[in-house]
Structure 1
Amino acid sequence: MSGDRLSSEVYSLLDDEYARAILTSTNTTAKSAKELSEECNASLPTIYRRTERLIDCGLLEERTELRGDGHHYSVYKARLKRITIELEDDELKLGIEKQQPKNMADRFTDIWDQI
């Protein structure tokens, strides 16, 4: 995604109450779409649309977790740490600082611990 298009998409997402609710809800704990639907008082299709847009912008990550019955499901975790907006040379500049995702070894350990 180009810089201008990314900036426009992020501005649009920040104006959306569901996208903001998803980001704040997943800041400290990864949550499933069902959990987000209940917490945000939104339908599952609304949650899936917003999570897809947030993932595309790099503000949210999707992880796979295992249930006790061996099936798996997706959970979402915010990657956003800080957004800054600066006015420079008569132009708004958007800066996005993201939290570092877990490395593959840590994610494998988390999955293994759930088994």
Structure 2
Amino acid sequence: MCEDSRPLELLALLGDEHVQIVLSAASERPRSADELSDACGVSLPTVYRRIEAMVTHDLLTERNEIDSDGNHYKTYEAALERATVRLDDGEFVVDVDTVEQDDAPDRFMQMWSDIREDDS
């Protein structure tokens, strides 16, 4: 048995129908868990379980957002661009290519710019 269970975990995760539906919706635009639940027709607890697993395996990125009332919430965006599976000397290897995401300083500058525009 393979010592590293990560490839098998990734394969099982990517084979999950709910994961596929959530990833697909999150690839269209960043969405909150509530929006993902509505868009996918999947219960909120199921969405949260899948989100946790996908974030752990770097398939989704999460961001903190602030709405106009000042409340905080998280949005999720698909980070997965491509996954390839190969068999190498009797072991499965899963390579995951992710989409480049902007970093925290870029998000801060965008948020600051948005705030300044709202005040104008």
TM-score by length of 1: 0.89
Amino acid at match of 2:46: T
Q: Aligned-pair distance for 1:39?
A: 1.1
Which residue pairs with 2:58 in the alignment?
Answer: 58
SS at match of 1:31: coil
Identity rate of aligned residues, in percent? 38
Q: Is the 8 A contact 1:66 1:114 kept in 2?
A: no
TM-score by length of 2: 0.85
Instruction: Report the number of matched residues.
Output: 113
Q: Aligned-pair distance for 1:58?
A: 0.8
Larger Rg: 2
Segments of 5+ residues of structure 2 without an aligned counterpart are 116-120
What is the aligned-residue RMSD (CA, Å)?
Answer: 1.6
Which residue pairs with 1:28 in the alignment?
Answer: 28
Which residue pairs with 2:39 in the alignment?
Answer: 39
Pick closer, same or farther for the CA change 1:113–1:37 going to 2, 3 Å: farther
Which residue pairs with 2:49 in the alignment?
Answer: 49
1:1-115 superposed matches below 5 A: 4-115=4-115
Q: Is the 8 A contact 1:59 1:79 kept in 2?
A: yes
Segments of 5+ residues of structure 1 without an aligned counterpart are none
* CA offset digits 1:66-102 (Å, max 9, x no partner): 1111111100011111101112223322111111221
Amino acid at match of 1:75: T
**Once superposed, which parts of structure 1, at least 4 consecutive aligned residues long, lie more than 4 Å away?**
none
Structure-1 separation of matches of 2:57 and 2:112 = 29
